[in-house]
Chains A and B, each alone.
Chain A
């Protein structure tokens, strides 16, 4: 797959000169002609979308950093100054702020696609693990960035999250002070958060290079989930350009439409109004909630009555993703051929969204208002506390029990031997005008 024959022929003298010294044009040309599984559907377009998201965040972020002041007395006003007095500043800042949400929408869909089609299984474990590293770095970067405007949610979010580190026995307290740069969240904290918020995206960029390297080494997965034998590759593959540049391009434009609707018409809908109140260390907001993309993990944190236990559960929820390739015992990659597992996958999807919902509610609030309910241990069964616990239990059961167990017990549907087989009706040969299957039309 990656070792496809290079078809690039340097034409001019400059190209020939460069090709023997730094074959960078060859690299680009080979990338464009890369054989790509012909059956990739629109769920495979999120890789390109994510690359766009990362570049958007880096470019807008660098411009914002030119105008931002990382000081507790000036940060809030400097962000508003960007919105008012910097040319196009409102656009740059709203693209950056909403870009974070868009980035997470895309990354969650990208990960769910990997989960559904078994993209993490051999020989693609490294692609998945590097992806998990990127996801973790994204969460860290987003959290650090949310602190920078120094609004109420910035400050109190930083307070809650850094306090979690303090829950670690013995070493927690010294680490907490080291992380904050003092006993409390103050100017030192803001300065280092700004510095790290500028650094981490480049760590993400480095990981993206590794992610792509691993991808091109192991080859792309595809909706059928089979490895493509070398002798079949002509029939099963299409060159990346123009086939997938256009397909990805179309998906990217649709994604940009959604992005534009938020930036231009609902720029503050995904944020919290309290973050337009300047940070006040003496006044706790009524309801501290993280950004929407953190809510599922925040819900897991709050589901555990013990603080340190909650921290462990929250980090385990991300950590378990790293060992996913070894938790899934099934040889079949695509859940298309695993009807039992597919059902559990869709329950997982509902549970994931449910956890996000619960993370935004008060734990004591009733799930069904007006219904009494029964008190069990520390909370009413008809409360978000217990609903969150139910969802949290499923989240971990899915990875630690269902995936290993179902993989051993289930009977998968027959798997086609080649990609062409389900694509082309009947004969092995490729008819010129075979109808494309309806499900893959845009």
Chain B
């Protein structure tokens, strides 16, 4: 025992090993990706030329722009609404403290499946399934919404205080009564928080599903790239940025009004 000095906050051998492995992987990846000083220099040059061609922004195609933007907003709002409506029952179903075992596992599996695919990948799948256009985009973002809000909602339900639930069961309340008056009041503020976050997220995602043909401004953006209309690209990008910033302001305002 003597001679062993107690050390506070010491690194364990495992931690040192983990950091070394991490650093080694980074170095190996960098070597394999052909990222050299030379490559950075040519990339820089090309980037500067591209940036130059974005200006001046093309302002003559407002109709096409407006149509795309409108579709994007509609996709975002519709997908958020439909996704939230689905997330409520699926989240309830997936919560281990309310659902019987098989239902809870099925709910969790459904949510995991929705989360597994990036919106772009599910958008490609839906384009193949239901054809080009905004319907595919809406479906893709509904899936994303269920994956995100459903999971967080289920987690929130699992963290509620069981005490009021017990009291309501003791009054002879039905399951519906317990959920409506014991569970929902405890999780509703958080659900509204998830919902506004997802609206924000869907606004961004809906500008992108168009790239794979699922409707919205993304389609126009991609077409402009292909036609080397960099001026129009600049206009679209500026508009998208403006909308996202505006959307965030609206969502923040919404949160204040709803007091969450």
The answer to whether A and B come from one shared complex is no
